[in-house]
C-alpha cells in the first residue's frame, strides 16, 4: 500500500508498504532516514521515539497505515522543529527535505563539539555535557527530552527522569544525560 | 494482510462482521509487538485510530464512560479525581511513549492477566460496552475475563467504551516489578473503599490465569468493618483484621512460577500489597471523615 504523511514538515509518500510494517521501518528503509533507531521492536527501549502529531511515541509500535495523513517529526528534523518553535511563526519555507534529512550529520567544523552544524539546543547540550557515548539511544532521548522541554521549560529532576523513563541507555549511567537536559533547560530559560 | 481503515464506528462494526478474524489495532502497543516478532500474521488489521468517539470520555452522575482508546496519559491527566485507582494504575504502565498510545480498550482486548488496568477496574466496579452489527451489550468486568488472554467478546464484537463507577471513597493501586518504568507486573493489587455501600472491593493482577477479585477477603473485611462499627467510628483497622484480610487476598491467588517471579513470591507480595493498600485507603478515609466532621 501507499502511505502519505508529513515528515519533518514536508509531505512525503512511501510506496510498496507492507500492511504489517511499522512506521519505524518506513522511516528507515523506505524514506532513508535512519536516525530513529531499531533495537527492541517492542516499545521497551525508546530508541525509535518520534513525534506523531506532536506526541512522543515508539515508532516501532505504530503501524505504517496509522501514520496516513499524520505529522511525524524525527531526530533529523529536530533542529528545524526547535527553530520553528523558537520563532513561533511559520514562514512557509519551514521543514526539512528528505535529502537534507538524509544528509544530516553533526559535521560542521567539528563533529565532537557540534560547532558549525545545525543543532537543536537539546542536541548541543548533549554534546556539551558529554551525554553521548555509543550514541545508539541518543536520537530517542533527544526527541523525548525536546518534547518535555517544550511542555515543561523548568523541569525538576523527577520530571526529567519521568519523561525519559521510556528510553534506555546502556553506556552512560544516565547522569550525563540528566546533566544535558538540565543544561538545555537552563539555556532555554536564559534565552541563550 | 489487508489494512482496514474504517472512518466511523458503524464502518468498523460492518468490517468486523464481514471479517471476524480482523485484528483491531489502536495504540498498537500489544498488536505491533506480536507482528514485529512474527508471532501473529492477521489476515486483516483494522485501524481504529480514525474513530474519534473512541478517544472521548464523559463524566456522568455515577459513572465515567471512557472511550476504549483514551490513552493512559489522558486518564492520568484528566480523570484522577473520578477514577483515582485507574489513574494510579495508568501511571504504572510502561513509559510515557506507551501511555501516549495505549488505552484500556486494548488492555481488555488483550486480556492478559498482567494488564495494569484490570485490578483497578475490578476494584472500582465497571462494565465493558461492546458492540457488533447485532447490537450493543454491557459486560460486567467481573465476567469479562474468561481465561489467559481470553475474554467474553464474540468474534464480531468490538470494545467501544468502559463504564467505570466514579470513586465514592479512597482508592489505591500497587504493583510489584523490578523498577519503576517499563515493567510488566510481577503482580498487582487494586483496592477501593466504597463508603456509600460500606463495602470494599479488590482486584488482583498477574497472580491467577485471569485478573480476579479476592471475594472471600472482601466478604471478611466487609463483615469485620460492619461488626466493629469502623465506618462510623473511623477507628484504625485492627492489625489482626488487616492480617486476616491480607492472608485471604493471598489465598485468592492461583499464580504460576515464571521468569518474573515464583508463585509463592506472588502470593506473599499480594498479601503485602493488600495490607498496605488497605492501610493507605483507610487512613485516607479516616482523614476525610475527620475533616468533614470538623467542618460540620
Q: What is the mean pLDDT of residues A16-24?
A: 97
| Cβ atoms of B228 and B238 closer than 8 Å | yes
CA A50-A52-A57 angle, 5° bins:
55
Domains of chain A: 3-76 (3.10.20.30), 106-190 (1.10.150.120)
- Chain-wide mean pLDDT for chain A? 92
Confidence (pLDDT) at B56 = 98
Confidence at residue A101, expressed as pLDDT on a 0 to 100 scale: 83
Q: Does B1 touch chain A (CB under 8 A)?
A: yes
Average confidence (pLDDT) over A41-62: 98
ipTM: 0.94
pTM as predicted: 0.94
Q: Does position B107 have pLDDT exceeding 70, yes or no?
A: yes
What is the spatial distance between Cα B122 and Cα B227, in angstroms, rounded to a whole number?
25
Among candidate residues A1, A109, A14, A138, the one with its CA nearest the CA of residue B2: A1
Partners of B41 on chain A (C-beta within 8 Å) are 20
Residues of chain A with C-beta less than 8 angstroms from the C-beta of B97: 43, 46, 49, 56-58, 144, 166
Residue A42 forms contact with B (CB below 8 Å): yes
pLDDT of residue B108: 98
| Residue of chain B whose alpha carbon sits nearest to that of A57 | B97
B contacts of A162 (beta carbons < 8 Å) = 96
Share of chain A above pLDDT 90, in %: 81
| CB contact A157 to B (< 8 Å) | no
pLDDT for residue A96 is more than 90: no
From chain A, the residues in CB contact with B90 under 8 A are: none
Residue A89 pLDDT more than 50?
A: no
CB-closest option in A19, A43, A57 to B2? A19
User: At residue A152, does pLDDT exceed 90?
Assistant: yes
Question: Is pLDDT above 80 for A117?
Answer: no
Chain A contact for B45 (CB, 8 A cutoff):
yes
Read off the pLDDT of residues A120-147 as tens digits, 9 standing for 90 and up.
999 999 999 999 999 999 999 999 999 9
Q: Is A34 on the interface with B (CB under 8 A)?
A: no
Q: How far apart are CA B296 and CA B294, in angstroms?
A: 5
pLDDT(A109) > 60 = no
C-alpha cell at B27: 495504540
Grid cell locating B172:
489505591
A84: how many CB neighbours lie within 10 A of its CB?
17
Per-chain mean pLDDT for chain B: 96
Q: Rounded to a whole number, what is the distance in Å from the CA of A78 to chain B's nearest CA?
A: 17
Residue A114 has pLDDT above 80, yes or no: no
User: Contact A43/B5, CB-based, under 8 Å?
Assistant: no
pLDDT of the residue at A191: 76
Domains of chain B in start order, with CATH, are: 171-295 (3.30.390.50)
Nearest chain A residue to B25 by CA: give it: A63
- pLDDT tens for residues B190-242? 999 999 999 999 999 999 999 999 999 999 999 999 999 999 999 999 999 99
Residues in B touching A23 (Cβ below 8 Å): none
- Name the closest residue on chain B to residue A148, using Cα atoms: B96
By the CB < 8 Å criterion, does B96 face chain A? yes
Amino acid at each position: 500500500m501507499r502511505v502519505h504523511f508529513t515528515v519533518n514538515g514536508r509531505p512525503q509518500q512511501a510506496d510498496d508498504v507492507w500492511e504489517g510494517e511499522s512506521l519505524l521501518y518506513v522511516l528507515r528503509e523506505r524514506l532513508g532516514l535512519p536516525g530513529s533507531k531499531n533495537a527492541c521492536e517492542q516499545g521497551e527501549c525508546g530508541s525509535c521515539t518520534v513525534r506523531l502529531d506532536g506526541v512522543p511515541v515508539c515508532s516501532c509500535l505504530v503501524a505504517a497505515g496509522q501514520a496516513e495523513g499524520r505529522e511525524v517529526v524525527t531526530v533529523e528534523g529536530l533542529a528545524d522543529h526547535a527553530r520553528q518553535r523558537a520563532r513561533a511563526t511559520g514562514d512557509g519555507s519551514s521543514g526539512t527535505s528528505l535529502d537534507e534529512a538524509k544528509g544530516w550529520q553533526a559535521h560542521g567544523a567539528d563533529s565532537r563539539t557540534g560547532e558549525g552544524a545545525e543543532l537543536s539546543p537539546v542536541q548541543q547540550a548533549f554534546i556539551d555535557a558529554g551525554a553521548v557515548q555509543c550514541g545508539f539511544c541518543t536520537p530517542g532521548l533527544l526527541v523525548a527530552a525536546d518534547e518535555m522541554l517544550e511542555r515543561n521549560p523548568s523541569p525538576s529532576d523527577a520530571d526529567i527522569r519521568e519523561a525519559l523513563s521510556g528510553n534506555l541507555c546502556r553506556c552512560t549511567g544516565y547522569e550525563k544525560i540528566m546533566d544535558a537536559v538540565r543544561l538545555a533547560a537552563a539555556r532555554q530559560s536564559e534565552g541563550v | 494482510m489487508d489494512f482496514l481503515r474504517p472512518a466511523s464506528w458503524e464502518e468498523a462494526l460492518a468490517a468486523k462482521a464481514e471479517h471476524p478474524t480482523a485484528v483491531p489495532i489502536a495504540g498498537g502497543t500489544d498488536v505491533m509487538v506480536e507482528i514485529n516478532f512474527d508471532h501473529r500474521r492477521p489476515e486483516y488489521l483494522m485501524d481504529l485510530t480514525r474513530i474519534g468517539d473512541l478517544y472521548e470520555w464523559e463524566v456522568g452522575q455515577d459513572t465515567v464512560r471512557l472511550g476504549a482508546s483514551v490513552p493512559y496519559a489522558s486518564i492520568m491527566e484528566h480523570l484522577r479525581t473520578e477514577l483515582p485507582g485507574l489513574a494510579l494504575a495508568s501511571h504504572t504502565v510502561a513509559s510515557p511513549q506507551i501511555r501516549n498510545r495505549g488505552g484500556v480498550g486494548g488492555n481488555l482486548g488483550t486480556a492478559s492477566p498482567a494488564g495494569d488496568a484490570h485490578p483497578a477496574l475490578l476494584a472500582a466496579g465497571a462494565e465493558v460496552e461492546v458492540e457488533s452489527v447485532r447490537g450493543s451489550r454491557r459486560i460486567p468486568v467481573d465476567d469479562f475475563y474468561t481465561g489467559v488472554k481470553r475474554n467474553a467478546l464474540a468474534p464480531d464484537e468490538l470494545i467501544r467504551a468502559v463504564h467505570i463507577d466514579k470513586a465514592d471513597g479512597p482508592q489505591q493501586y500497587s504493583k510489584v516489578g523490578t523498577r519503576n518504568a517499563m515493567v510488566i507486573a510481577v503482580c498487582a493489587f487494586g483496592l477501593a473503599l466504597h463508603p456509600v455501600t460500606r463495602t470494599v472491593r479488590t482486584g488482583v493482577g498477574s497472580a491467577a490465569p485471569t485478573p480476579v477479585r479476592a471475594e472471600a477477603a472482601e466478604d471478611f473485611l466487609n463483615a469485620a468493618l460492619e461488626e466493629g462499627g469502623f465506618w462510623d467510628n473511623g477507628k484504625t483497622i485492627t492489625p489482626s483484621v488487616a492480617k486476616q484480610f491480607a492472608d485471604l487476598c493471598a489465598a485468592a491467588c492461583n499464580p504460576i512460577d515464571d521468569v518474573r517471579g515464583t508463585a509463592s513470591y506472588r502470593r506473599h507480595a499480594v498479601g503485602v500489597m493488600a495490607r498496605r493498600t488497605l492501610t493507605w485507603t483507610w487512613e485516607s478515609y479516616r482523614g476525610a471523615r475527620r475533616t468533614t466532621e470538623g467542618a460540620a
